[in-house]
Amino acid sequence: MAQQFGGPFSPDAKDAPLAKKRPQAGRARANLLFVAALPLLFTAFGGGAVSTISSLTAFALIVGAAWLTREGLEAQEAYEARTIARRPALPRKIFGSVFVGLGVGLATFDTGLIDGILYGILASALHLISFGIDPLRNKTATGTDAYQTDRVARAVDEAEKHLRAMSDAIEQTRDRVMIARVEKFQTAARAMFRRVENDPRELSAARRYLSVYLLGARDATFKLADLQSHGRDPAASKAYLALLDDLEANFTAKTRAFLEDNRTDLDIEIDVLRDRLRREGVRVK
């Protein structure tokens, strides 16, 4: 029986799309790691070859840890936003904690071997406490098996790549109106993603939207960004906005149709049950 799913990620929810939520506090802390590595760069020279190499290596490790941590936070945000998701292939935050420990240990190695090891362990522990660990299990929706989960996760992952490519391209234009318009379209697209995640049976009907249509939108965005890099082209911008209007209307209509189909199926099931109960002599209001 088709089932209607609700909640903050359903397409009829008030703030259905979670298009641009960012873990600002976590990102700010991760960015501080870049700052924390700078003293190693400034003090790397003037103490001999061994000291220079150690300081530069420690600097690179901590900068790498900052980058991995920031990427890990974004991957976790995407994971938590979705009903069905595969765990990140690379546990970036865990690797970030290891890199921090190695960097701090190497930077403090001159105070003594034991001190360097202890400082490194402490730095890794503090990193894990501050940022946590990466998701280590795939997320599945209730009533779906591993095969369905993997199919939906792969389809949505690919669709998200198209949306990210659109964002990267349109941001090159530095046109706030265009950037906002693309984000609005992405909101409608992600509402469909959430719908498919909540009911994987919709994937077949949505596959063209998640692949062909989004691929076309991505390519159109690339072309617009290329044209805008050579000067403003009002005609191209107008045509692009019209394309987004059409695509958004179609995505929204299809997502609504999914929901209405499920409601129709549910009404049919209820009517069948009522008829069965009447045949059994049970009074049904």
Global pTM reads: 0.59
Q: What is the spatial distance between Cα 252 and Cα 157, in angstroms, rounded to a whole number?
A: 20
Residue 5's pLDDT is what? 37
More confident call, 142 vs 197:
197
Q: What is the spatial distance between Cα 1 and Cα 15, in angstroms, rounded to a whole number?
A: 27
Q: For residue 220, which of 240, 237, 245, 247 has the smallest C-alpha distance? A: 240
Mean pLDDT for 119-144 is 84
Q: What is the spatial distance between Cα 188 and Cα 60, in angstroms, rounded to a whole number?
A: 41
Q: What is the spatial distance between Cα 85 and Cα 279, in angstroms, rounded to a whole number?
A: 44
135 backbone dihedrals φ, ψ, rounded to 5° = -60, 135
31-36: list long-range contacts, CB under 8 Å, 24+ apart.
Answer: 31/66, 31/70, 33/62, 33/63, 33/65, 33/66, 33/69, 33/100, 34/63, 34/66, 36/62
Residue 6's pLDDT is what? 40
Q: What is the spatial distance between Cα 46 and Cα 38, in angstroms, rounded to a whole number?
A: 16
Question: Is the predicted pLDDT of residue 263 greater than 60, yes or no?
Answer: no
What is the overall mean pLDDT for the chain?
Answer: 80
Q: For residue 20, which of 89, 81, 91, 64 has the smallest C-alpha distance? A: 81
CB burial class (10 A; 0-12, 13-18, 19+) of residue 15?
exposed
pLDDT digits (tens, 9 = 90+) for 182-235: 999 999 999 999 888 888 888 888 888 898 889 889 999 999 998 888 877 788
Residue 266's pLDDT is what? 45
Q: What is the spatial distance between Cα 76 and Cα 81, in angstroms, rounded to a whole number?
A: 8
Q: Are 259 and 4 in contact (CB under 8 A)?
A: yes
Question: Is the predicted pLDDT of residue 19 greater than 80, yes or no?
Answer: no
Q: What is the spatial distance between Cα 92 and Cα 41, in angstroms, rounded to a whole number?
A: 24
